[in-house]
Amino acid sequence: MAIVSAKEMLLKARNEGYAVAQININNLEWTKAVLQTVEELKSPVILGVSEGAAKYMGGYKTVVGLVQNLHDFLKVTVPVAIHLDHGSYEGSFQALEAGFTSIMFDGSHYAFEENLAKTKEVIAACHAKGVSVEAEVGSIGGEEDGVIGTGELADPEECRVIAATGVDMFAAGIGNIHGKYPANWKGLNFEVLAEIQKVTNNVPLVLHGGTGIPGDMIQKAISLGVSKINVNTELQLAFADATRKYIEAGKDLESKGFDPRKLLNPGSEAMKQVVRDKIALFGSANKA
Ligand SMILES: [Zn+2]
């Protein structure tokens, strides 16, 4: 299967009661580890790319080329979307032009009316090319590439208006936070989630900040209409931890242990295990 939009995979997830993982990628190792694992488990996946990650990897076209070519080389058969994560207004159009198949326009820092107007423009441009769109209502706590929010709860009325634009999915703050969760975190707010779900007419909901939310809360959120869950920090922590252990054990000094194909392998294997665990938790195995 070619690289596809996220629309169909999320509607299927919404109807069948599971969630598709958005796994953020940073380079070749990340992309390969995720593609190999989702193929092994026959799960659909959304590869998330922040503007910062795209810049790091050499621009939007490099990202599309990397994903498309790895996808073909590895003979991936499951649905894969290339999704811009927290895109700016300009970045959304640039990623669309470069061949991304899904775009999150994050207008949460604009006043609501401007967020709404710009979201509609992004939807019109993306839908003309069969590309799916994610909008954000309110802001999500924590830090995403330098943008800091303070853990808000979305206004269900704003969610209703955004959902009615024809957007394919939307993110709304329900107490979730980007990055590591603080020890005094209050947990997800299921009352707000249920209220949002009631007024948004089955548009798939997205949960950002999937790292560190307890499994039972994740499953309850899925039962209340969350169809896409973003995972980013957890892979970074797993990669760093496994790489540190390899170096601390002196393995880079043994034989050709310094070869990047060996040095980066424990980290890649650790990321694969995180992806396997997430797919098991989200219920998307064998849903391709
Ligand atoms: Zn996010």
Tell whether the model's pLDDT for residue 148 goes beyond 50.
no
Average pLDDT in the 75-89 region?
98
**Cα(257) to centroid(ligand 1), Å:** 36
> Any idea how long the chain is?
288
Query: What percentage of residues in the chain have a pLDDT greater than 90?
Result: 84
Amino acid at 66: L
**Cα(208) to centroid(ligand 1), Å:** 5
* pLDDT confidence of residue 182: 78
Tell whether the model's pLDDT for residue 187 goes beyond 60.
yes
Residue listed under structure tokens 């980066």: 264
Q: 138 falls in which pLDDT band (50, 70, 90)? A: confident
Return the ∠ at Cα 26 (arms to 23 and 27), rounded to 5°.
Answer: 120
Q: 52 falls in which pLDDT band (50, 70, 90)? A: very high
Tell whether the model's pLDDT for residue 147 goes beyond 60.
no
Q: Which residue in 85, 168, 241, 259 is the catalytic one?
A: 85
Average pLDDT in the 136-158 region?
71
Cβ-contact 155, 137 below 8 angstroms: yes
**Cα(177) to centroid(ligand 1), Å:** 8
Q: Is 23 helix (H, G, I), strand (E, B) or coil?
A: strand
pLDDT digits (tens, 9 = 90+) for 240-257: 999 999 999 999 999 999
Q: Lowest-confidence range among 80-84, 111-115, 211-215, 229-233? A: 211-215
Question: Residue 85 catalytic?
Answer: yes
* pLDDT confidence of residue 221: 95
Tell whether the model's pLDDT for residue 142 goes beyond 80.
no
**Cα(178) to centroid(ligand 1), Å:** 6
**Cα(85) to centroid(ligand 1), Å:** 7
**Cα(248) to centroid(ligand 1), Å:** 33
> Which domains, and CATH codes, for the chain?
7-282 (3.20.20.70)
* pLDDT confidence of residue 149: 44
Q: What are the structure tokens assigned to 19, written together? A: 């969630």
Using a 10 angstrom Cβ sphere, with 0-12 exposed, 13-18 middle and 19 or more buried, the burial of residue 112 is: middle
Indicate the pTM of the whole model: 0.94
Tell whether the model's pLDDT for residue 146 goes beyond 80.
no
Average pLDDT in the 259-282 region?
98
* pLDDT confidence of residue 185: 81
Q: How many CB atoms lie within 10 A of CB 97?
A: 12
Residue 99: CB partners within 8 Å, gap ≥ 6?
60, 61, 64, 68, 82
Q: Is the dihedral of CA 249, 253, 258, 262 positive or negative?
A: negative
**Cα(260) to centroid(ligand 1), Å:** 30
Q: Is 135 helix (H, G, I), strand (E, B) or coil?
A: strand
* pLDDT confidence of residue 144: 53
